[in-house]
Structure formats: C-alpha cells, structure tokens
A and B are shown apart, each in its own frame.
Chain A
Amino acid sequence: MGQVLALDALIHARQVWHGRATPAPGGSQPTGWPQLDAVLPSGGWPEHALTEILLPADGIGELQLLLPTVARLSRAARQVMVIAPPYLPCVAGWEARDVVMSHVDIVQAGERDVLWAAEQCLRSGSCAAVLAWPHGADDRALRRLQVAADTGKALAFVFRDRRHAVQASPAALRLELEAGASLQVRVRKCRGGNPPISAVPLAAGWS
C-alpha cells in the first residue's frame, strides 16, 4: 500500500464505478453521434481501449457508426488501419463521408494473421485507429488487443457476429447494432458506468 493515489485521478480514469451517474466530461474521442456520446460514460469512445461492435449481418450500418470517427482522424492526418474487411471499401462512398483515403491503409490478412496484424498496428503507436474483422477471436485474443491498444494509445474496433454477445469480453465498450424498422445501437457493456437501458437510434440512411 506504499502508493498513494489521488481519488480524483482514479475517478477520472473511470476505473472506479460510481453508484450514481456523474456528469460526463467532454470526451476527447467523440463518436460523431451526439446521442451516443451522451450515454457513453467517457463522452465518446473509450480512449486507448478496445471497442467491440456486434453485428447481426455485414453491411447493416457498421460503417455509418464509425465513419465519422475515421473521417475526423484522417482529416487530422492520423493513420487509420482497416484490417481484413469483409468487402472492399468503396472509395467514392468513403470520400463522400469526408474520409481522406490517403490516410487509410487496407491490410489484407489471412484468417490466422488478422489478430497478429491488428496487434502490431495497435502496438506500434503510429496508428490512431485500427478497424479489424477477426475470425474466431476468443477472449484471450481480445485481451491482447486491449493491452496493445493501451500500449500504442490507439482506438481499437473489432467487428464480430452477434452470436458472440453471450461470451464474456475484455473490451472496454461493447455495442450491438440492431436493425429493425430503423438502425439503433445498444450498449452492452461500458467501462466506468452502467449501460443505458434503452437503445440509441442512429439516423439510418443510405446517403
């Protein structure tokens, strides 16, 4: 018990769970969706941490959720890595959503190399965000990514199928996309706060 930690620092680092909600400080990594920022305890993406996004099917709206962040980072000349995407990113579509494609690297990796590549990118410290589509990742693999994201001070996003929702996950934030009449996102787990009960609607649209 030699170390003395300031209580403020602990609370701000979101390591200590609060019984009642504290007013969220303005996050330094906004998601680009004000309604989502409002319910997330850090006011945006958890910094230097892993975010897991669960999908019912590919193409449901996962990029809509993330492209504002990718656009913000690539506009600031920060590097974004896209590892083993299920389809080819359509440049015209991404650029229409304000992404600077010269700061986006697409990495084609085999099934066994996705996690390795994602970890290398996160650990290197030269990428601002890493988007990865791993195959068959278990919680140990995700924990490695979480540690790598912390080491390299990067945002990590992992896209997985919805059936993994029942498994425990070391991710700091778990979101599930739901497509009904309109697209909405449900927070399954968030570090430093209670997950909100109701789902957050995203302005679903194709333009």
Chain B
Amino acid sequence: MLWACVLLPQLALDGVLRRREDAHEPLVLVSGPAQARVVHAANPPARAAGLYRGQKLVAAQALLSQFAMVEYDREDEARWRRLLAAWAYRYSGEVGLFTHGVVLEVSRSLNLFGPWPHFESLLRADLRELGFRHRVALAPTPHAAYVLAGVHDGLAVEAPDALRHALAPIAIGQARLPAEVAQALPAMGIRSLGQLLQLPRAGLQRRFGGELLALLDRLTGDEPTPMESYRPPDTFEQRMEWTHEIEHVEALVFPLRRLTADLATYLAGRDGGVQRFELELEHCHGPPTRVAVGMLSAGRDATLLFDCARGRLERQVLAQPVLAMRLIARELPPFVPAGRDLFDSRPANAMPLDQLRERLRARLGEDAIQQLRRTLDPRPEFAQTSAPGVRPAQLPVLPRPTWLLDTPCPWRGPSPEILAGPERIETGWWDGGDLRRDYYVARTAQGQCAWMYCAPGEQGAWMLHGWFA
C-alpha cells in the first residue's frame, strides 16, 4: 500500500481567496469571541505588513489600516475538504479525510497514471488550477504520509523499510501526536520520533496508555490503519457568499466560473455528468431568484458548463442585489463521452459541436436549434417535425419544394404558369384536420417555381405553400 497525502495548510483562507478576484488586497480571517477577536489566517500581502496567525485583531488594525476581514467558518472549511475529497476520488477509490488534509491510496493508481513523479505533478497541477496551496508527500501508511507532508513538501518514501529512517529525525512537535503526549515527551528528553520509537513499549504503555502505542504502530505500518473511505454524495451543492452586495450580473461571472469548475471537478471524480442544474441567487429580502440551466445532453466539461450557465445568467434581470449564490445539481446521469473519429478532418482546436449548440441555445433560446425529420403524415403541414423520434423509410418521390411556408398564404400576383400537377392530397379525417387540396408546381412572373394549391377541380384562388428554390 502506498498513500499520498495532500496537506492543505491554508484551506480556509484559500477557500475565501478563490471567490475573490483581487488577490493583492490584504485579507485576514478572524475568529474568537467578539471581545477578543484574533487573526485566524492572513494572506501574503497581509503577512508582509506584519500580520500573523494568533495576533489580536486590535494589534492587526494598528499595523495596517486597510484590510478585508472575513469571519472564519469551520463549516466552510469542512465543505472545501469534502470538495477536495471528491476531487481525489477521481485518482483513487480509497480516500480518507484528516483534519488538515486528504489522503489517497495510490499503489494501484500509479499503474494508470504513471510513476509517482508524474502522478505527483498531475495532482499539483489540478490543485493549482483549483486554487489551493498544498503540500504533497508519499508514504506506505496514511499517518506517515500525513506527518511527512507536514515536514517536507514533496517527500516520497516508497519502501516500508525506509519509512523508519524517514520518520526518525522528525521533531515530536511536528509528529501530530496527541497534545498531552507532545507536551510531556520533550520534558522527558525525547525530542524526535526516532527516540520515541526506540523506547521500550511496556514503559510507554504504562505512562501514556495503549492509544499512543496503537498510533505509533499505525504510523510505522506494523498495524493496518482502519480508515473510513470517502464516498461522494449523490447530489452536488455549493454556495458562495460575499461580504458585499452584488448588483450587476457581470460581477457574478467570476464566482460562477469557480462554481462550475468545482462542479466539473466533482463530476470527473464521480465519472458522471450533469444535464440540469440550478443557480440560486439569494437576496436580502424575499425568495431567491432561481436560474435553471438545462443542456441537450449530459456533459461535464468545465468550459461547457460555464458557457451554458453564463448564457442563462446573463439574460437574468436582477431585481435585487445578490448576497450569495448557490449551485445545485440534483440529477447526475451517467456521462457518455462523444466518440471522435481518429481521422477527423476538423481543425485540431475545434470546439465540440455540443458545446457550440449549447452556446447558441444559451443566447438564442432553448428551442433555437432544430433538427427536422419527416413523419408519415401525408399532409404538408404535418409531414415534418422537429420533435425527436424515428425517421421513416424513404417514401416514393413526388415533387416537393425546398422551402415551405409556415402557413400557406393567398397568392396575390398574376396567374402563374402551371408546370406540373395536380397532386391531390385529401386526408386527415382522423384528427379533425382534414383537407382536400390540389397541389400544382407553377412558375411565377418573376421566374420562381412555386408550390401552390387550390380547391379540387378549380384553378384559381391560389394559395402559396412553398418554393422550389
């Protein structure tokens, strides 16, 4: 077994930063009771000004006059961790959650994704894209990976024998031991994990109880680690909240890009797609505005999802400022990727046809794109439909025009010259729409060939129904 640990040292801060466009503005997360607010985390511009974790908020305000403040939210942090677990699920079937990180079992994933250095670069590229700072380590046990990731970024220990070596120099304070143990051991002169592992087990058991021994066994791999595997939920829901009110739809585009990218990440991990999802815009008063986004077929490409949602959102008129936005996807149908021809003659950078259709539909309306097919009905008005269905076999060829008028209109010009006809269509008794017409092909004075009809047996009162264009 090989475990990779992705440690997220700044998870709460990154979660807040990724929904803000301006990365250079100093920002801190604050926590604690109202009388004694402390800085929970500070972004690099704020740290450069001398702010640090654990500082009193009053002291921070004395150092820097202008900075953005966001309340630290434990629930929010847990949500980001779940999102990252969903992301990791795409690389491994066994994903576990630790307090500050995500571990995934990779020994089998390496067969699929290539050797560790390549796999590691894949993980890092994804995390950079998602906007989370991270440290990655590899070890034969999940606990060891978790501990090593905290000490050396990028450390990889593949052999179980080398693990004790790698763990030995780690200071007790960094070994993620229970708090009372971590305090007591240095007082006893035990400063590194190596020293701790060499102590007689019976003595340790007497002094600290069985818990510590079990933890050390799991750390070194002498005992297997019981792990509750992460299972992705069946619906996706993500919410973004701002400290200010947003009045224009344009300002929602950046957070929307993040939300749809998260949805795409989640779907990739689950190997699913989404056909319908909903954006909920929350206001100060009144019910939230709901924007439904529907697609022609299930998809999971981030650009496609963003394009669709953006088109729908941009047509939305905001009656009230928006405080928060929520993306909800309840139905996650299986995703079938479109097959592409190996000898495809289209340009390499071509946009997939589905994406083009969705983009057009987003702006022009849900029914803007049609594919017509024939039906078995002989009446010209019902002989074709845009509804999906089966295509009937080819019928015997009678002259049919290439343009058809939506509704026939009376012919106002001079009497046309008849080229062919009549073809009598007399049918439709079964649904009350019966008609009796004689159809002719006629040439107008302008030289157009028209498809016209009149009452049976007459050649006057022409109705124009199509053009042989």
Q: Do the beta carbons of B446 and A63 come within 8 Å of each other?
A: no
CA distance A64 to B468 in the complex (A): 8
Q: Do the beta carbons of B401 and A93 come within 8 Å of each other?
A: yes
CA distance A67 to B400 in the complex (A): 14
Residue from B368, B371, B406, B466 having most chain A Cβ neighbours under 10 A = B368
CA distance A207 to B423 in the complex (A): 14
Q: Check: B227 CB closer than 8 A to any chain A CB.
A: no
A118 to chain B, nearest CB (A): 10
Q: Do the beta carbons of A90 and B351 come within 8 Å of each other?
A: no
Q: Do the beta carbons of B394 and A95 come within 8 Å of each other?
A: yes
Which residues of chain A come closer than 8 Å to B350, judged between CB atoms? 124-126, 152
B70 to chain A, nearest CB (A): 39
Which residues of chain B come closer than 8 Å to A127, judged between CB atoms? 353, 356
Which residues of chain B come closer than 8 Å to A95, judged between CB atoms? 374, 394
Q: Do the beta carbons of B400 and A117 come within 8 Å of each other?
A: no
Q: State which of B374, B467, B469 has its C-beta within 8 Å of the C-beta of A91.
A: B374
Q: State which of A60, A79, A92, A117 has its C-beta within 8 Å of the C-beta of B383.
A: A92
On whether A125 and B364 interact (CB within 8 A), knowing A101-B371, A179-B447, the answer reads: no
Query: Considering the complex, which residues of chain B in the window 429-446 have a beta carbon less than 8 Å from any beta carbon of chain A?
Result: 441, 446
CA distance A102 to B386 in the complex (A): 11
Which residues of chain B come closer than 8 Å to A110, judged between CB atoms? 364
Q: Total contacts A to B, CB within 8 angstroms?
A: 159
Which residues of chain A come closer than 8 Å to B468, judged between CB atoms? 59, 61, 64, 93, 206
Which residues of chain A come closer than 8 Å to B399, judged between CB atoms? 206-207
Q: Do the beta carbons of A67 and B402 come within 8 Å of each other?
A: yes
CA distance A46 to B91 in the complex (A): 48
Q: Do the beta carbons of B467 and A126 come within 8 Å of each other?
A: no
Number of interface residues of B (CB under 8 A): 52
One of A8-16, A81-89, A185-193 at the interface: A81-89
Q: Do the beta carbons of B449 and A206 come within 8 Å of each other?
A: yes
Q: State which of B355, B365, B383, B448 has its C-beta within 8 Å of the C-beta of A179.
A: B448
Q: Do the beta carbons of B370 and A86 come within 8 Å of each other?
A: no
Q: Check: B162 CB closer than 8 A to any chain A CB.
A: no
Q: Check: B37 CB closer than 8 A to any chain A CB.
A: no
Which residues of chain A come closer than 8 Å to B467, judged between CB atoms? 58-59, 87
Q: Do the beta carbons of B369 and A126 come within 8 Å of each other?
A: no
Query: Considering the complex, which residues of chain A in the window 131-172 have a beta carbon less than 8 Å from any beta carbon of chain B?
Result: 152-153
On whether A56 and B446 interact (CB within 8 A), knowing A124-B350, A153-B347, the answer reads: yes
Q: State which of B364, B383, B403 has its C-beta within 8 Å of the C-beta of A107.
A: B364
Interface string of A92-120 (1 = CB under 8 A from B): 11111100011011111110010011001
Q: Do the beta carbons of B469 and A59 come within 8 Å of each other?
A: yes
Q: State which of A58, A79, A105 has its C-beta within 8 Å of the C-beta of B370.
A: A105
Which residues of chain A come closer than 8 Å to B446, judged between CB atoms? 56-57, 60, 179
A127 to chain B, nearest CB (A): 7
Q: What's the interface size class on A, roughly?
A: 35 or more
Q: Check: B155 CB closer than 8 A to any chain A CB.
A: no
Q: Do the beta carbons of B347 and A125 come within 8 Å of each other?
A: yes
Residue from A59, A104, A181, A183 having most chain B Cβ neighbours under 10 A = A59
Q: Check: A25 CB closer than 8 A to any chain B CB.
A: no
Q: Do the beta carbons of A60 and B353 come within 8 Å of each other?
A: no
Q: Do the beta carbons of A124 and B351 come within 8 Å of each other?
A: yes
CA distance A26 to B446 in the complex (A): 35
On whether A152 and B448 interact (CB within 8 A), knowing A63-B402, A91-B384, A109-B368, the answer reads: no
Q: State which of B363, B384, B401, B403 has its C-beta within 8 Å of the C-beta of A113.
A: B363
- A97 closest partner in B (C-beta): B402
On whether A108 and B448 interact (CB within 8 A), knowing A88-B404, A89-B403, the answer reads: no
Q: Check: B24 CB closer than 8 A to any chain A CB.
A: no
- B352 closest partner in A (C-beta): A126
A154 to chain B, nearest CB (A): 9
On whether A91 and B356 interact (CB within 8 A), knowing A96-B400, A125-B351, the answer reads: no
Q: Check: A37 CB closer than 8 A to any chain B CB.
A: no
Q: Do the beta carbons of B448 and A60 come within 8 Å of each other?
A: yes
Q: Do the beta carbons of A60 and B447 come within 8 Å of each other?
A: yes
Q: Do the beta carbons of A90 and B346 come within 8 Å of each other?
A: no
A108 to chain B, nearest CB (A): 5
Q: Check: A39 CB closer than 8 A to any chain B CB.
A: no
Which residues of chain A come closer than 8 Å to B370, judged between CB atoms? 105-106, 108
Q: Do the beta carbons of A91 and B347 come within 8 Å of each other?
A: no
On whether A117 and B364 interact (CB within 8 A), knowing A87-B467, A125-B351, the answer reads: yes
Q: State which of A90, A102, A126 has its C-beta within 8 Å of the C-beta of B401.
A: A90
A207 to chain B, nearest CB (A): 6
Which residues of chain A come closer than 8 Å to B351, judged between CB atoms? 123-126
B interface, CB within 8 angstroms of A: 345-347, 349-353, 355-357, 359-360, 363-365, 367-374, 380, 383-384, 386, 391, 394-395, 397, 399-406, 419-420, 441, 446-450, 466-469
Q: What are 15 A-B contacts with C-beta separation under 8 Å?
A: A59-B448, A59-B468, A61-B449, A87-B467, A88-B406, A92-B400, A93-B400, A101-B373, A107-B368, A120-B360, A124-B353, A125-B349, A125-B350, A179-B446, A206-B441
The 5 closest A-B pairs by CB, nearest first: A59-B467, A179-B447, A125-B350, A87-B403, A206-B468
